[in-house]
Structure 1
Amino acid sequence: MGKPTPAKRAASRRHLAFRKHKARAKETVASGFQDLVTFFQSPTGERFIILEICILIAMTLLIYILYQKEMKNREEIQEAMHMIRTFVVGMEPFYVDKDDFQILAVAQNKSEEMRYYSKKNEELQKEIDILTRNLNDGWVLYSRAFYFFSLELRTWMDSKKKCEKEGAHLISMETKEEQYFINKQVKHRKMIFWIGVFKDKGKKWSWLSGMEAAVHYWNYYEPSYKENHNCGAMTFDCYYENCWNALDCDLQKQYICKKGPDDTWL
């Protein structure tokens, strides 16, 4: 047999080195495993194992609790969805076969409608309360407006301010029916009342709104052209249904206030 070639000797050396490395690795693993066994057998290792077990149990318990909570939430959601579906289908059978998203959309629309009607109901209740309070305070209701026939005596200007303080205006008659209603009330009381008609700077008879009193109900021989007779009043002593008198604005007379929905019926 011949001598081994350099290549074979090199390969042999590499193989031997590999076997030595593998043997050392096995010894290292065995040594590490033995150290780990020794550690777990020690008091410290036992406490470590107990701690790890406790952590594992706690994590398992936490996962279980979260799972139960999630399942409960799902049950509550399903129950709520069932109630919503029952409500919607009860009002509109058309939606019986619709999916949950469509049912929720309908329920939201119904909820908005209910909020709207609830708000309107509150507004109406406030109006009813105001109406009741006005009636209890001596105001007279006619055709969606309130009228107050005073008992106290004031000048025309003071009467105007008094009405405004009550959230109203010294009366202006807008229709023939309203004029006849006021006539009847004044005749029943048998007194003279200031109304909201006056002679403006242009010597025209106008309402407090600034509109000219184109339709008027002056009494016989009225309006008076006497000096300072620049304010209108209603008397119970009428020429047919014509009851307006022109008087001195500084005279002390009773007055009539008026307020309607636009005055918020304060």
Structure 2
Amino acid sequence: MARLKHQEEEKGNSSNPKKPDKKEKDTSNPKKPDKKVKDSSNPKKPDKKEKVNKDKETSKRNAGTSTLTSVTLVLFILATMMFFMYLEVIELSQNLSNRLAYWTEKNRILQEEIDKVTELLEEWVPYKKNFYYFSEEEADWEHSIEECIEKDSELISIIYGEEEAFIDQETARLGYGYWIGLQKNRSAPHGLLWINNEEVRRPYWNIDAKQPNIDGDCIYVVPKCRIKKCWHDDLCNRERRFICKKVARPVDSFR
């Protein structure tokens, strides 16, 4: 009887087959792909936000490039300006150096002239723009000329009345007679001629002593006389003191 029951159960199972489990994979009906899976054959369109970000990055790069270019240009302009300023400084420095050399040389020349004048003042008497040497040594008229030449001067030629008055005053102060650069010359006006070939404008004979008295052809000034009336003639070989005149020369301009 148990055997009969078992046969009936097997018969029932064969006549009513078991339905497959829904959870089991059905290979005959493959599952459609998930929509979320990326399909390489249909690329995804770029997102608007991503595009905006890219545009911003591009703008930043362009702005950075523009800024760099501007900075480079400004630096170039500044460098150019500094270069030209440097050239101007060099030129100014050279000009200052040249002017310093100019004034240094000018000062040297002036100092030399000052030294010469200082030395002259030890023996020479200044008047107006000239210097006068009243000698202590004696010589005849011809040698007096040579002595003055050695002193870079000449035996005095008196040009105008004020100069004659100065000579007469100094002669009176020193108390000696002095040869002057004047000699008799019959063909010259007033019968007199200066050694520099200047004509005598006005004679200053000592008329109180009845001069000229034809004692000689050379002229000297005496210490005891009235101003502008001190000329005496004498023999040219007579030894006397003499007066040398040095004309003041302007300092040579330095260029």
TM-score range, shorter chain: 0.5 to 0.7
1:219 to 206, 230, 254: 206
Cα distance change on mapping 1:164 and 1:263 into 2, 3 Å: farther
Larger Rg: 2
Superposed displacement of residue 208, structure 1: 1.6
Instruction: Return the letter of the residue paired with 1:104.
Output: I
Is residue 113 of structure 1 aligned with residue 113 of structure 2? no
CA contact (8 A) 1:168 1:263 kept: no
1:183 to 141, 160, 168: 168
Superposed displacement of residue 108, structure 1: 2.2
Superposed displacement of residue 225, structure 1: 5.2
Question: Where has structure 1 moved over 4 Å in runs of 4 or more?
Answer: none
Superposed displacement of residue 240, structure 1: 4.1
Root-mean-square deviation (CA), in Å? 2.4
Cα distance change on mapping 1:116 and 1:201 into 2, 3 Å: farther
CA contact (8 A) 2:220 2:234 kept: yes
TM-score (norm 1): 0.56
In the other structure, the counterpart of 1:162 is 147
In the other structure, the counterpart of 1:44 is none
1:246 to 204, 209, 233: 233
Hey, what's the Cα distance between the residues in 1 that align with 2:109 and 2:159? 27
Instruction: Return the letter of the residue paired with 2:112.
Output: K
Name structure 1 gaps, 5 residues minimum.
1-97
Is residue 230 of structure 1 aligned with residue 220 of structure 2? no
Hey, what's the Cα distance between the residues in 2 that align with 1:231 and 1:263? 32
Superposed displacement of residue 263, structure 1: 10
Hey, what's the Cα distance between the residues in 1 that align with 2:237 and 2:246? 24
Instruction: Return the letter of the residue paired with 2:121.
Output: L
Per-residue CA deviation, residues 218-243 of structure 1 (Å, 9 max, x unaligned), is 2216652515x211111112244321
| Identity %, equivalent residues | 30
Instruction: Return the letter of the residue paired with 1:146.
Output: F
In the other structure, the counterpart of 1:198 is 183
Hey, what's the Cα distance between the residues in 2 that align with 1:169 and 1:240? 23
Hey, what's the Cα distance between the residues in 1 that align with 2:156 and 2:141? 12
Query: Aligned runs of 1:1-266 on 2, under 5 Å?
Result: 99-136=85-122, 138-200=123-185, 202=187, 204-220=191-207, 223-224=211-212, 226=214, 229-262=216-249
Size of the aligned set, in residue pairs, is: 165
Instruction: Return the letter of the residue paired with 2:212.
Output: S
